[in-house]
Amino acid sequence: MVKMTLEDVAREAGVSLATVDRVVNGRNGVHARTIERVNAAIKLLGFHPDQHASRLARGRDYDFRIILPTGENEFMQALDAEFRATRERQLQERVRLSIQYVDTFDGEALAAALERLPSSIDGVAVVALDHPAVTEAINALADRGVVVLTLVSDVPNSRRAHFVGIDNYAAGRTAASLIGRFVGPRKGKVGMIAGSLALRDHVERQFGFEQVISREYANLEVLPVREARDENARVETVSRSLLRDHPDLVAIYNAGGGQAGVVAALEATGRVSDVIFVAHELTASTRRHLVRGTVDALINQDVGHMARSTARILTALREGRPIVPGQEHIRIDIFLRDNMP
Amino acid sequence: MVKMTLEDVAREAGVSLATVDRVVNGRNGVHARTIERVNAAIKLLGFHPDQHASRLARGRDYDFRIILPTGENEFMQALDAEFRATRERQLQERVRLSIQYVDTFDGEALAAALERLPSSIDGVAVVALDHPAVTEAINALADRGVVVLTLVSDVPNSRRAHFVGIDNYAAGRTAASLIGRFVGPRKGKVGMIAGSLALRDHVERQFGFEQVISREYANLEVLPVREARDENARVETVSRSLLRDHPDLVAIYNAGGGQAGVVAALEATGRVSDVIFVAHELTASTRRHLVRGTVDALINQDVGHMARSTARILTALREGRPIVPGQEHIRIDIFLRDNMP
DNA sequence: CTGAAAGCGCTTACAG
DNA sequence: CTGAAAGCGCTTACAG
């Protein structure tokens, strides 16, 4: 299999290099008949464009913006760190990532940030609140030809090109199955804590969780979900009240952050060993609690994978190339003490 | 941050392009003083070489060989399919993968295949038996400057550059924890089936599995491991005898292939619901059994990830670039019915 | 709607 | 041990 170049295609089709380039990259201003002739030659010769030559010739780097929430959420900080690492590596690939921090919980502020993006931008990935102003801003960008990706929490009704994150509904179901299985035949109550029900991801987790418990584990009863804003102190307060009010509490699922709060409450009340605790996100601290057994299982979305995937998808879509679905699918990782990375 | 080129470095260091290239790529025949001057300029300017230009200029494609086992093992066929898909994509990246099939269980044959590799080859990834002749062949290649990767099953005492696969010891421990948790307080026997104890991966799984069960689940007793060559029929025979001989069998762990054999035995004896079954590898058929509940949990290594990772690692090491550990780590996936991809 | 030419930032012989 | 020049396979203005 000899490698074919644009040159070969041009010769075969009887046109110039520039024209073949136009056809290959779908630029307009080419006669339909010419397009056909070129495509025939491409097919005949089995031509595949050379990525490296193309990126080199283009000269300009791609300019992508990543919008992350302000605040001290441990998960978001881990994601931020991975984006920084990816940014350094992508510099050698002619891709420029710039990271911007916005109060994601404020729909108007987020929409304004999106609207203020320089017109030279090639694409943007955003941790988005599902809010009408945000949807509008995303659609406006998409209409301008900017590639828009949603990160972690989706805005499915917008014209974003892709969502980088897990199926949170399935994550909630997974948590439920783990708890159902680990609790075994015991009867009792299950407490669920979320960060905020304003973000779509936690709502979806709640929905999946309650569905599986109620449908498959008749011995368990899910208590009304409590919001705790991903803050350790609030999570601890909520956990303590759950433990106090329900002597028959057999499990806790914290779908948000602030896992240390649950741990503190479990330890203070001496109920570590009889209450199953399923948490989200592998961090230095959840890892430790998993090893000790305070956390029984962890559900994780790999922040490194998400950052790398975001960069790849932005670039591929910008270049009009297809993405590799299997490579970009963010898994719902289940970690027990034994299979942590 | 302006983008710096070799040209800029050459000017700053007062040498030619060719000399900077020599330093950047560690080619020899450069005076120590010159090397220092060039490195100083690189540091001063914050120069990063342009991957695309370099791959383009090199002209020649990389030529990598993938050696997979002959036979009809479903997992290996899935891996093969992923390598074929990766091969097509890599063509556009100036990387050529060729796939070769060898009887991996025959150490001498495998070693001979490795020795017969054309000298023009840039790297090889091999599903390797841990056998003295194989180790020798791997070391000979490594000494010749060929990048050698082991795939799926490692040969840790060889000079292979990297192992692409999971920590099988941890995978065995994970299976044990899942079974211990899912069985709950019931007392009983646990059957373990392996493909072959000649391959290192299954031995490691066995070791990890037995360790965790014996150390942490006093209510469970692991029966002597049975080999069944990853064949459905053999696996079914073994499973039937386990079920017949042990009315108190509470779980089965099949560390190898042939999962359909376990399913058939469980269904025939009507013990699907009281025997926990943990299996390996997500395939069309294990997926179905997981949904139905015959398989309680699946441990998986992502074949798509392995194929892509292999290509990336071969290329990076061949170019003397560092790999990104987080990206290349093959996870021990745990799949319940709820979090399958 | 189409083409000729310059150039992207490296590597590769070749010469000295 | 070092350098000058050609070339990798595209894209980008510019011209017509």
B316 touches chain A (CB under 8 A): no
Closest-approach residue (CA) in chain A for B337:
A174
Q: How many residues appear in chain A?
A: 341
Query: Which of B94, B174, B308 lies closest to A339 in CB terms?
Result: B174
Evaluate if residue A1 carries a pLDDT over 60: no
Report chain A residues whose CB lies below 8 A from the CB of B208. 338
- In the structure, how far is the CA atom of residue B305 from the C1' atom of nucleotide C1, in angstroms? 45
Selection from A196, A167, A164, A194 nearest residue A67 by Cα: A164
Model confidence at B1, in pLDDT bands (50, 70, 90)? low
Which CATH fold topology does B168-300 show?
Rossmann fold (3.40.50)
Q: Which residues of chain B from 205 to 244 reach within 8 Å of chain A, CB to CB?
A: 208, 212
Q: Is A30 left (phi over 0), alpha (psi -120 to 50) or beta?
A: beta
Percent of chain A with pLDDT over 70: 99
Q: Rounded to a whole number, what is the distance in Å from the CA of A233 to chain B's nearest CA?
A: 31
Q: Are A302 and B302 in contact (CB under 8 A)?
A: no
The whole-chain average pLDDT of chain B stands at 94
- In the structure, how far is the CA atom of residue A52 from the C1' atom of nucleotide C8, in angstroms? 11
A157 touches chain B (CB under 8 A): no
pLDDT in tens, B110-165: 999 999 999 889 999 999 988 999 999 999 999 988 999 999 999 999 999 999 99
A53 touches chain B (CB under 8 A): yes
d(C-alpha A134, C-alpha A212), whole Å: 32
Q: Identify the CATH assignment for B59-165+303-330 out of 3.40.50.2300, 2.40.30.10, 3.40.190.10, 3.20.20.140.
A: 3.40.50.2300
Contact A338 B89 (CB under 8 A): no
B338 touches chain A (CB under 8 A): yes
For A112, the token pair is: 């304004």
Q: Rounded to a whole number, what is the distance in Å from the CA of B285 to chain A's nearest CA?
A: 19
pLDDT in tens, A177-209: 999 999 999 999 999 999 988 888 999 999 999
Contact A331 B339 (CB under 8 A): yes
Domain ranges of chain A: 6-49, 58-164+303-328, 168-300
Model confidence at A29, in pLDDT bands (50, 70, 90)? confident
Query: Residue A24: phi, psi to the nearest 5?
Result: -60, -40
Model confidence at B10, in pLDDT bands (50, 70, 90)? very high
At A51 the pLDDT is 85
Which residues, including other chains, have CB under 8 Å from residue A116's CB and lie 6 or more apart? none
Region B105-109: what's the mean pLDDT? Answer: 90
Region A133-142: what's the mean pLDDT? Answer: 96
- In the structure, how far is the CA atom of residue A322 from the C1' atom of nucleotide D5, in angstroms? 39
pLDDT in tens, B234-278: 999 999 999 999 999 999 999 999 999 999 999 999 999 999 999
CATH number of A58-164+303-328: 3.40.50.2300
Region B185-213: what's the mean pLDDT? Answer: 94
Same CATH fold assignment for domains B6-49 and B59-165+303-330: no
CATH number of B6-49: 1.10.260.40
Return the number of CB contacts < 8 Å for A and B: 111
Q: Rounded to a whole number, what is the distance in Å from the CA of B251 to chain A's nearest CA?
A: 14
d(C-alpha B202, C-alpha B229), whole Å: 11
> Regarding beta strands A333-335 and A297-300, do their DSSP bridges make them parallel or antiparallel, or are they unpaired?
antiparallel
B328 touches chain A (CB under 8 A): no
Region A216-232: what's the mean pLDDT? Answer: 96
d(C-alpha A298, C-alpha A203), whole Å: 19
Checking each nucleotide's C1' against the CA of B56, the nearest proves to be D8
Across chain B, which distance is largest between two alpha carbons, in Å?
83
